[in-house]
Structure 1
């Protein structure tokens, strides 16, 4: 059985700023939004990435979503794109990009995944950008490298890796990471994080209060925020999963996904080296 996720395994690797650090050194995170009626997931991911330490966070949105997003964003920047090629150009300076939450099950989303793969940014691929590649998972895997992270729940995992879950979550996640060539975060009550090099860890501080819409979007943003700060992808995923669950436990009953980003600083404060 794989080890249990514990801060002792990654706490010393968290990317704390130094006295002379500026925002670009802290990393640049991009988040791709869905259309005008599907912007909430991107806002959750973007705020979470900013809260976990990324120095600059920018949302990339279709033109029809810009007027919806602009009044709702403050520290998070915003720019629109009309084509996949434009997205490639706009995302080029980013260190990491979150793609998939409420992106839409359309070929435009598939084209946007391919466009982001051309940037060199570390990718967090979630939600619609996973489901879209059902029956053609190889196309998605061709876009990925070892710095990227897939964040499926069991339903999305089954679409990409049909039949694997029958082997058990740990074995399935490890085999999936090998097939995809990147880190896989198999979400659930005991989330499994697996890397293609054979590293695997089981999260032991899961919280039932995370069973609420949007909590996965927050986790994607948290992983992206740590990747933007150049944390190793496996360590970033392990840290984000634990911090995410600890934040939920601190709030308890009545938790909404909107609450989670603002709970992150208290968890980080307790992890900060004294």
Structure 2
């Protein structure tokens, strides 16, 4: 029997709407991604984090992607510091050092949206994950960030503040890389085995239902979603997870009064489960309005109402 998450605990993570809080205390997010071919992914991830309630979002991208991402929204702070192999004489260490200098202003790092598989971009991301771990930052790894983990699992192995968000294909490749036995078709057990193989990171196995697992617990998000799968929905999920993780950081730091009901090791689990529910509901609402014509961008305006429905008796 899969335990049902306690929604009252989730509500404790959410910061109150209060004039006593100042800019940044409700979440400062960093997105590592955005290449010449992929500019939408970091935008979806970043703007979703803010639509849910984060105060600030920084996007660290490749220079040719920066102008496009800036044009999508003035709400995102865009840094064109990432570099691709053919056009740069800047080393991955130099790029990572420059980006890491901003980490003191961030709570959470999202690695992967639109990153590409360029060797220099991948190596820079690997260094950035290492530097974020040194700063004890929560990390969400998605998309081409999972390609990095597949080939360099030691990058996140044993780091319990990391959340991986693989789709079906990415999950299979990670299991193969970590030699996880997939003969048992119980997906709930497989997600937990992958978490164990990776040293206790939280795994979000996306699919018909989302399975969220760490070594100790498995949660299920089976809220009805939309019936059309568009590129970018996973990016929205990575951004919303990041906001919940940022709120979890403020919760741990005692930014507002609460009863310390959630163990720090369980914050990633609750953050991922909450985000999955909100994103699935956003997808359902957007599809209900637009049907086959639905776009990922339509989901953005549904994040706020979906949050309100999810929390029910809390102000949005």
1:177 aligns with 2:195: yes
Q: Does 1:97 align with 2:131?
A: no
- 1:245 paired with 2:263, answer no
Superposed, which structure 2 residues align to 1:205-216 within 5 Å? 205-209=223-227, 211-216=229-234
| Matched residue SS, 1:192 | strand
Question: After TM superposition, which residue ranges in structure 1, 4 or more long, deviate above 6 angstroms?
Answer: none
Aligned to 1:80: 80
Equivalence for 2:314: 273
- The answer on whether the counterparts of 2:60 and 2:81 sit within 8 Å (CA) in structure 1 is yes
Q: What is the aligned counterpart of 2:183 among 166, 171, 183? A: 166
Distance 1:30 1:129, change over 3 A: same
In structure 2, runs of 5+ residues without a counterpart are 83-94, 250-266
- Summarize deviations over 1:145-173 as a string: whole Å, max 9, x none: 11110000121011111254432210011
- Compute the displacement of 1:113 (Å): 3.0
Once the two structures are superposed, the pairs formed by residues 219-238 of structure 1 within 5 Å of their partners are 219-230=237-248, 232-238=267-273
Tell whether 2:295 aligns with 1:256. yes
Confirm or deny that 1:147 pairs with 2:161.
yes
Summarize deviations over 1:216-273 as a string: whole Å, max 9, x none.
1100111011112226211110100011111222222243211112111112233242
Kindly indicate whether residue 129 of structure 2 is the aligned counterpart of residue 129 of structure 1. no
Structure having the higher Rg? 2
1:186 aligned residue (196, 205, 208): 205
Give the conservation status (yes or no) of the 8 Å contact 1:91–1:116: no
SS at match of 1:209: coil
Task: Please report the RMSD computed on the Cα atoms of aligned residues, expressed in angstroms.
Answer: 2.1
Alpha-carbon distance between aligned partners in 1 of 2:9 and 2:187, rounded to the nearest angstrom: 21
Give me the TM-score of the superposition, normalised by structure 2.
0.79
Counterpart CA distance in 1 for 2:230 and 2:11 is: 27
The count of corresponding residues between Structure 1 and Structure 2 is 271
Aligned to 1:3: 3
Instruction: Give the gaps of 5 or more residues in structure 1.
Output: none
User: Partners of 1:187 and 1:209 in 2: how far apart?
Assistant: 15
The corresponding residue for 1:200 is: 218
